[in-house]
A and B are shown apart, each in its own frame.
Chain A
Amino acid sequence: MVNSHNPYPATLREACMAKQKGAVPYAGGTDFMIRHAKALQTGQCPPFIFLNDLNELQGISNPDNTVRIGALATMAALSVNKEIPGLLSQACNCVGSPALRSAATLGGNICTASPAGDSLPPLYALGAQVEICSPAGRRLMPIRDFISGPGTTTLQSDELLSAVILPVNEFNEFYHHKVSPRVANAITKVSLAVAARIENKRIKKIRMAFGSVGPTIICCPQIEAACTGSSLSELLSAVPELKIMVEKTIKPIDDHRSTAQYRRSIAANLLADCIETFGNP
C-alpha cells in the first residue's frame, strides 16, 4: 500500500512509480467502479492515480503512415474522429451509453482485457500495436500478445499502456457486428470484426477477430488463410465450410448472459453475413 502518494501525477514516470507501489490507475473509471463497487461502499478502495493530467496519454496523431491513439482517448472521441479507421469508430460507438462513452477510454478497455471488450476485435483485426511505457522507456507489442487471458495482460507493475498504434491503408473493406441483449448499453454476447483488402473482387488479405466467444478475443488464422486469394464468388460458395470452421475455432461457454450453442451458431452466421456483405456490396 502507498501511504502518501500524489493521486494526480504530473509525469508518466511519476505515475509508473506510483503504480509500482500499489496505486491503481484510474482513467474513465467505468469498469473500475463496477469491479470495485463493494470496496467503494465499505471505504476500502486502493489508492488511485488519476491519469487525466498526463499529456503523453492524450491525443490522436498520424506519425509515419500510422494512427497513434493516446490511451486516454474516449470512446465518444473515437466514435466521431475522422482519423480513426471506421471499423474501430463503429465498435467504439457500440460501447454502453452516451454517458459511458464520454468517460470510458480506449486504454481502459484494452487493459480491462475482457473478452467482451468492444474495441478489441477491431484492434485485433486492424493489427494494432500497443505502446507501453515505464521508467525504463517505451516498448511496442502486438495487442494479441499484450492480452494474455481473461482480465490479464503482460503489463508489468511499473508499466502503463500509453498509446495504440494502428497501421492505415492496409485494408479497404470492413465488417463489424455486435450482438447484445438489447439495442444499446449492453454487454456483448458475440461480436465479429473483419478487415480485408479486396482487389478485383479477390481477397488479398483478411484478418478477423471474434469477441465474447472465448477466454480472450479469438483470432482465426486458418480461416484467414482459407479466404486469402479466393474470389468473392468462391468465398460465397464456401460459406457452409467457413461456418463450420468458425464453430471449430471459437471457444464459447454457457453463462448467465447466453449459451455456448447460441454464440457458436451466431458467430458462424456473422461470418456468413460478412462474406455476403463483401460479395454483394
Chain B
Amino acid sequence: MPFSKDEDRIDTIGKCCGTTRYVGDLSFDNMLEAVTVRSTVRRGKIKKISLPEMPDGYFCVDASDIPHQNQVTYFQDTCPYFAESEVKYIAQPIMLMVGPDLRKVRRLAQKVQIDYEEIPAIHTLDEALEGTKPPMHNDDNVYFKEDFSYGDIDGAFAGSDEIFETQTRTGYQEHLYLETQGVVAVPETGKMTVYASTQGPHAIRKALGGAFGCDEEYFRIQQMPLGGGFGGKIETPFFLAGHAAFAASKCKQPVRLIYSREEDLLATTKRHPSRIVIRSALDAKGNILGVDIDVVFQAGGYALSCRMVLDTGLKKATGVYHFPAARVLGRAVATNNPMAGAYRGFGGPQTFFAIETHMNALARKFKRDPLQFKADYFIKQGTDTLTGGKYHFHVALPETIKEAARLADYERRKKEQVQHGPILRGIGQALFSFGAPFSLGTNQPLPNRCMGLLKRKDGRVEILSELVDMGQGLHTALRKIVARALKIPIERIIYKDADTDRVPEASITGASMSVVLFGRVLKDAADKLKPRLEEPGEFSVLEKVKQPDHLQWDPVKQQGDPFHSYVWGTVIAQVEVNTLTWQVAARKIWTALDVGTPIDRRIIKGQIDGGTIQGLGYSLLESMPMDAMPASLADYIIPTSLDVPPVESALIANPYPPGPYGAKCVGEPPLIGVGPAIVDAVANACGIELFQLPVSPEYLMQKMANKS
C-alpha cells in the first residue's frame, strides 16, 4: 500500500485547544455588528416598512444599497439578496440593521415593523403539484425537470404480469455544523476583504463582483477555518457575504455578520425533502422487466442548487442496478419553505433510500434472500449507465457485500430469533454506489481553471489551491499526495486557508471530487516540480484542472458518462425495536467501502464514522414537519454519543487508475446506505414494510397498528 502511515491533521491541535480563530473571533477597529431583519410570513407582498428612530452611527441596509443587481449571480434562477416587494419563505432577509453595539442592533431590528399582504402559501411538495394555491413559479411550480431513460420501458410495462409500486418519503435534514454561518467584510483602500466561513471563496468573489457590477478582483476573499460544512457552506455564505459587503460599502466600516444558532436553524439551507414513486414491471416469475421512477424534490422559496442536487440524485436513481429498461423522471418544486440546498450526499440519500427500499420490499414479497435477489441486476464493469455512458472500471460491489457480511456475521444473525421479550431484533442491509460529478454544475464539464504548487525559497512547497478543509481532512490528504510525489517529508508541504488574491480559482469544495480529481491535478503538478525541486529561488508550477481522459459527456444531449468515478459500498445495520414505546435503537452498523486506494485510513475512518452517524440521525431522529423548522436544538434532535452504536468499517482495495495513486472519494458515500439499511432492519424486526425517513416511534406505532 502506498500510504501506510496515518498523519496527524494539522488543524487538530488548534481545534482541540480552542486556539483556532474562526470568523466569529475576528475583530477590527470601528467594526460594526449586523443583524438580519427577516420575513415573519411565508408568502406575501410587502406593503409597508416602518423603521424605528435610528440613533447616530446605526444604519439599515436593504436592496436599495446594492450597487448593481439584487441577484446572487451564482444561481441562474432568480435569487435576490434582499426581498424587495414580496417574500417567499419565513426568515427571508429583507434588510440588515447595522451598528456598533450588537444588543442595540438587535433591539432596533426587532422594532422594524413590516406590513404584508399575505398570499396563500404552498406548504408541501404535494401542494405544489396539486395546484390548489396560486402558483409561485410558472404555472406548475416546477423549478426544474429532467428525465433519463433507456430500453423499451413502455414495452416492459405492457408485457408485465404484475406491477409493484412503492412510494417513499424523506424529510428535511439540517447540516448542524458546529460553527454557525458568519462573515466579516472590511473595506480597504480600493479594495474590500471578506473573511468568510465558506466552501467556495472564489465563487463568493465572483458573486460579489456580480452584485456590485465591478471587477471581481476588487474583492479579496479570505477563507477562515470552518467549524463544519457538510454542503451547508456553499449557498448560504453568498447571502452573508453580500449582505456584509453591502453594509461595509455603505458605512465605510468593517461589518461583522454572524448567525445565532436559532437563526441558522431557521434560515439556512437543508436537505431536500422527497417523494419518490418506483414502479417495477414484473414477469410471472417475479423478474424485473423495467423500472419507472418518479422523483419529486421539495425546494424552497427560491431554486438555489436544486437543479444540481436533483440532477445527481436522478443519475443515481437506479441504484447499483442495470435493469432491462428504466425511466427516471425528476422534478424540483417550489414551496414557501426554508430553502433546500446542497447537503452531503447531494440527492443520493433520497434516491438510494427509494431504490433500496423498493428492492428490499420486493425481495421480501417473493420471500427471496435480498442479496441474491438483487444480484441478478448488479452493475458490472462495461455495463451502460442510465445516461448511456459506461462503467469503465472494476465494480467492487460484490467484494463490499462479502466483506460487510463477514464483518457483521450477517448470515448467522439474519437467522436469529426476532423476539426477545418486549424487544424485536432485526438486521438489514443496503447497497449503494456513489458517483462523483465532474463539477458542482453536475452536467457541465469543469471550466478551464488551474491549481498548483509554489516552490518557496526556504525549500518548502506550498499548495496553491482554494480547496477548503472543512474538517474532512482534505488539506492533510492533499499534502500527503504531494509529499509522496515529491518524495519529501509532509512537514515541508504547506497548505494555507485560501486567499483569493494568492490562489487561483479551481472549484467550490464539494461533491466528493477533491481528492480524486484535484488530488490528481496536484500530483501531476508535483511530478513536474520534482526534477526542479533543487532549483534556487521561488517559482510556481500550475496545472490545468481536467477530468480523466476516458470520460465522454455531451452536456446538450445529457448523454455519456455522468460521473468520473464510483465508490461502491454495503451497509449492514442491526436494530432493536422496543414494543413498549416503538423506539428504534441501532445496535451496530457495519460498512464496507471501496474508496480506491486509501490516502489516510484514520481520516477515512473519521469520514465513515461521521457519515454513518449523520445517516443514523437522518434515519431515526431528525424529524421535522415538511413545512417548518424548529428554531431550537431542544426540538431538532440529532444523535448524542449515547444514541450512536459501534460502527465497524472495512475498506476494499480497488484502485482507480485515473485517481491519484488510485484514490477515489470518501466524503459523502458513508451516509448514503444508512437509511435504507436501518429501514430494512426495522422491517425485518417488525414484519412490515416502511417507506419513510425518519422512522419515528409515532410512524412505527401507526404502521404496527395497521398490521394488527
Contacts and interface: CB of A to CB of B under 8 A. Distances in A.
A182 B623 CA distance: 12
Interface in B239-275: 260, 262
A42 B643 CA distance: 35
Nearest to B634: A187
Contact of B635 (A43, A179, A257, A261): A257
Interface in B649-708: 697-698, 701-702
Interface in B611-634: 621, 623, 625, 628, 630, 632, 634
A41 B628 CA distance: 23
A183 B635 contact: no
A42 B109 CA distance: 10
Given A179-B581, A262-B701, A265-B701, A43 B643 contact: no
A246 interface: no
- Nearest 9 pairs of A and B residues by beta carbon: A43-B103, A183-B642, A42-B106, A262-B698, A184-B642, A181-B637, A42-B107, A269-B580, A183-B643
A103 to B, nearest CB: 16
Given A185-B640, A186-B637, A258-B698, A37 B262 contact: yes
Interface of A: 34, 37, 41-44, 97, 177, 179, 181-187, 256-259, 261-262, 265-266, 269-270, 273
B581 A266 contact: yes
A182 B643 contact: yes
A266 B640 contact: no
A232 B580 CA distance: 20
Interface residues of B, number: 30
B580 A34 contact: no
A256 B625 CA distance: 8
A256 B640 contact: no
5 contacts: A41-B106, A179-B697, A182-B639, A182-B640, A184-B642
A7 to B, nearest CB: 19
A183 B697 CA distance: 13
A179 B106 contact: no
B255 to A, nearest CB: 18
Contacts of A179: 581, 583, 697
Given A179-B697, A262-B582, 8 more contacts: A34-B634, A37-B262, A43-B104, A177-B580, A183-B585, A262-B698, A265-B701, A269-B581
A273 B103 CA distance: 51
Contacts of A186: 637
A256 B632 CA distance: 12
Nearest to B585: A183
A42 B583 contact: no
B110 interface: yes
Contacts of B106: 41-43
Contacts of B643: 182-184
B634 A184 contact: no
Q: Among A34, A41, A182, A270, which residue has the most Cβ atoms of chain B within 10 A?
A: A182
Contacts of A43: 103-104, 106-107
A41 B580 contact: no
Given A42-B107, A43-B103, A256 B635 contact: yes
Given A42-B107, A43-B103, A259-B698, A183 B640 contact: yes
Contacts of A257: 635
B107 A44 contact: yes
A35 to B, nearest CB: 11
A255 to B, nearest CB: 10
A266 to B, nearest CB: 5
A273 B107 CA distance: 51
Contacts of B580: 177, 266, 269-270, 273
A182 B621 contact: yes
Contact of A41 (B260, B625, B639, B701): B260
Nearest to B640: A184
A185 B592 CA distance: 31
Nearest to B624: A256
Nearest to A43: B103
B621 A42 contact: no
A121 to B, nearest CB: 16
Nearest to A189: B697
B408 to A, nearest CB: 22
Contacts of A262: 582, 697-698, 701
A79 to B, nearest CB: 15
Contacts of B583: 179
B182 to A, nearest CB: 16
Contacts of A34: 632, 634
B581 A182 contact: no
B258 to A, nearest CB: 12
A42 B635 contact: no
Contacts of A182: 621, 637, 639-640, 642-643
A102 B639 CA distance: 21
A98 to B, nearest CB: 11
Nearest to B261: A37
B630 A42 contact: no
Nearest to A263: B698
A87 B556 CA distance: 69
B630 A256 contact: yes
A266 B632 CA distance: 25
B639 A42 contact: no
B342 to A, nearest CB: 26
B557 to A, nearest CB: 47
Contacts of B625: 256
B708 to A, nearest CB: 13
B704 to A, nearest CB: 10
A226 B110 CA distance: 55
Q: Among B585, B632, B635, which residue has the most Cβ atoms of chain A within 10 A?
A: B635
Interface string B335-367: 000000000000000000000000000000000
A136 to B, nearest CB: 38
B703 to A, nearest CB: 12
Nearest to B421: A276
A41 B259 CA distance: 12
Contacts of B623: 181
Interface in B560-590: 580-583, 585
A270 B580 CA distance: 7
A37 B642 CA distance: 27
Q: Among B580, B628, B632, which residue has the most Cβ atoms of chain A within 10 A?
A: B580
B471 to A, nearest CB: 22
Contacts of B642: 182-184
A186 B625 CA distance: 18
Q: Among A37, A97, A177, which residue has the most Cβ atoms of chain B within 10 A?
A: A37
Nearest to B642: A183
Contacts of A185: 640
Nearest to B101: A43
Nearest to A37: B262
Contacts of A259: 698
Contacts of A97: 640
Contacts of A41: 103, 106, 260
A187 to B, nearest CB: 6
A243 to B, nearest CB: 12
A185 B638 CA distance: 10
A43 B623 CA distance: 33
Nearest to A185: B640
A265 B698 CA distance: 10
A179 B582 CA distance: 10
Contact of B103 (A42, A184, A258): A42
A59 B422 CA distance: 40
A186 B643 CA distance: 12
Interface in B258-308: 260, 262
Nearest to A276: B422
Contacts of A187: 634-635
B602 to A, nearest CB: 27
Nearest to A96: B634
Contacts of B697: 179, 262, 266
A186 B639 CA distance: 10
A265 B580 CA distance: 9
B176 to A, nearest CB: 14
Contacts of A256: 625, 628, 630, 635
